[in-house]
Structure 1
Amino acid sequence: MRTRRALRALVRAGRAVHWYTTTLLGDHDYARYAAHVARVHPGTDPGSEAAYWRARHAEQDAHPGARCC
């Protein structure tokens, strides 16, 4: 019983670390953007994921602001 509880805690911690790193790195940003476009601008094409990332990186390069790299 103790082993099973420890395993569940380890799995839960692993999922939390995975969620944190994917959120920090922006892995879900395009999906969030596409959902926003669908909700706020119905019928509008959000564009491709590649175009989204190109525009996002171009914006960051043009206006770096405060960031580590």
Structure 2
Amino acid sequence: MNINEIQLQIQTNPLTSKQLERRPKRAVFSDAARKAWLDLENRLGDSPLKEATQALNKHHKFK
């Protein structure tokens, strides 16, 4: 790969207190998605991926 150019975007204004308090939106999973994520969690061995999957299952809403 030849890289000729890199573009960066820099935020110049600090976040306001309201932006800092704002929580990210939660995904809403269908029953099929919920089952798939829970099955994946149960099949994984102890790893960072399993921890991430557990956190996702814990913090996201299911229909």
- TM-score, normalised to structure 1, is 0.26
Structure holding more strand per residue: 2
Structure holding more helix per residue: 1
- TM-score, normalised to structure 2, is 0.28
